[in-house]
Structure 1
Amino acid sequence: MDFIFMLTREDRTVSDSLRVLDAVRDLGITHIGFKDVGADRDTLRLLHERIKDMGATSYLEVVSTHRDQVLASVRTAVALGVDQLMGGTWIEETLALLGGTQIAHLPFVGRPEGHPTRLAGGPERIAADCRRAEEAGCAGVDLLAYRATDAEPLELVRTARAATAGRLVVAGSITTTQQIRALATAGADAFTIGSAAFDGRLVPHAGTLAAQLAPVVEAAAT
């Protein structure tokens, strides 16, 4: 599975994101993302350049669940030239804005609500949304499995895997290597971790961010 390291905490890009990149450079992380909240456009542009200079695939994940703000995030993704755009539920409008670019879109499936975002919708809704995204031409989907309120997380992952041949990314509230291995077994292609690393929840008492992330990198590779 691919590990997507999100330079985010509580749904905001961390203020020292450029320094963080330097701190984790030796871990060999090849998928790195951020959000368009918490940093100004110039910082995001420099951050994206640094990510690409590292040889990594870049991601922007949408924070808002409101249409106009989501589409503003899409425009930011286009201006920056990220590789993949995650989140949002306005598929047709998003794909129209991405037309002519090489940016892959992985929309949310289910019904994201609130802040921090929770995921409403059971397996039938998840399966239907996965099929809709694939039929529309999306590259895959973004599933907030461990923030689900209406179903067991791994059930949703297995449901999504059965419903789409596209890329299945599981985002949010992943804090253990056991969860990572369970996601791989259930069929996920990638997962994201951000806040858990910055909060020190992955490896209690580890002194550095690199020490938090090293076992995640190892688990993703096995």
Structure 2
Amino acid sequence: MNRFDFIFMLTRNDRTVADAAAHVGTALASGIRHIGFKDVGLPFDALHDLATRIRHGGATTYLEVVSLDRDSEVRSVEAAVGLGVDYLLGGTHVDDVLPLIAGSGIRYYPFPGRVVGHPSRLEGTEAEIVASAVALVAREGVAGLDLLAYRSSLDAPSLIAAVCEAVPKPVIVAGSVTSPEQVRVIRRAGAAAFTIGTSALDGRFPAAGPALAMQLQAIDSAAA
């Protein structure tokens, strides 16, 4: 991961979309080199196909865990290991995950704070989320954090800045990023990357048009 990256998620409302494979080609042709998907929405064989397409296109692969119960998260992490993804984002059951990914080379970025519901929401005070972030990055095997800043009722810019200042490891801001101004805020706060899925697939990011290639170009330019 470079200093500031855009990660395109093949997802809508925290689910991998049925036509994700077609979008991989568009993303790669648009020069996007960080592409991910969620652990829900498609069966393992389809996720394996996605990971293979992304990897063969020269891009970095990300799987984000949004399942909330322990057993589902464990199954998703086992799938991530089987898929050989580069990054494992999200999830909350750190004690169960770390032994599963040991020795795999997967870089693990769990959610700090209290995450509920689907689509995922972040709850707690800023102080509680920062304390959770500090505790997580102290764990061996945790490479960074996946922060749902814009899925919180808190002031997102303040929360991002507080978490980035408190931890020595990279922070990815995930969820509900829909504008160039949010991208600029995330960058100024010191985050390493951000994810966008729904707003790009639905043509809602300010761009020359709603077509996915136009959306990705606009987002990538906002991150430059």
How does the TM-score come out when normalised to structure 1?
A: 0.95
Q: 1:188 maps to which residue?
A: 191
How far off its partner does 1:65 sit?
1.4
How far off its partner does 1:43 sit?
1.1
Q: 2:85 maps to which residue?
A: 82
Q: Deviations over 1:52-96 (max 9, x none)?
A: 111111100001111111111111101101001001111121111
Q: 2:95 maps to which residue?
A: 92
Q: 2:31 maps to which residue?
A: 28
- Letter of the aligned partner of 2:59 in structure 1? A
**SS of residue in 1 equivalent to 2:40:** coil
How far off its partner does 1:207 sit?
3.9
- Letter of the aligned partner of 2:145 in structure 1? V
- The answer on 1:56 being equivalent to 2:54 is no
Q: 2:148 maps to which residue?
A: 144
Q: Return the alpha-carbon distance in structure 1 between the equivalents of residues 167 and 222 of structure 2.
A: 24
Q: 1:42 maps to which residue?
A: 45
Question: Which ranges of structure 2 fall in alignment gaps of 5 or more residues?
Answer: none
Q: 1:212 maps to which residue?
A: 215
Counterpart pick for 1:66 among 65, 69, 73? 69
Aligned partners of 1:203 and 1:211 also within 8 Å: no
Tell me how large the CA RMSD over aligned residues is: 1.2
- Letter of the aligned partner of 1:24 in structure 2? A
How far off its partner does 1:47 sit?
0.8
Q: Return the alpha-carbon distance in structure 1 between the equivalents of residues 55 and 172 of structure 2.
A: 20
- Letter of the aligned partner of 1:140 in structure 2? G
How far off its partner does 1:190 sit?
0.3
Question: Which ranges of structure 1 fall in alignment gaps of 5 or more residues?
Answer: none
**SS of residue in 2 equivalent to 1:136:** coil
How far off its partner does 1:205 sit?
7.6
Q: Return the alpha-carbon distance in structure 2 between the equivalents of residues 203 and 46 of structure 1.
A: 31
How far off its partner does 1:159 sit?
1.0
Aligned partners of 1:4 and 1:190 also within 8 Å: yes
- Identity among equivalent pairs (%): 47
- Letter of the aligned partner of 2:72 in structure 1? Q
- Letter of the aligned partner of 1:4 in structure 2? I
How far off its partner does 1:157 sit?
0.4
- Letter of the aligned partner of 1:41 in structure 2? F
- Letter of the aligned partner of 2:149 in structure 1? A
What is the aligned residue count?
220
Q: Return the alpha-carbon distance in structure 1 between the equivalents of residues 180 and 166 of structure 2.
A: 26
Q: 2:10 maps to which residue?
A: 7
Q: 1:108 maps to which residue?
A: 111
How does the TM-score come out when normalised to structure 2?
A: 0.95
Give the 4+ runs in structure 1 shifted more than 4 A: none
Q: Deviations over 1:34-61 (max 9, x none)?
A: 0121111111111101111111111000
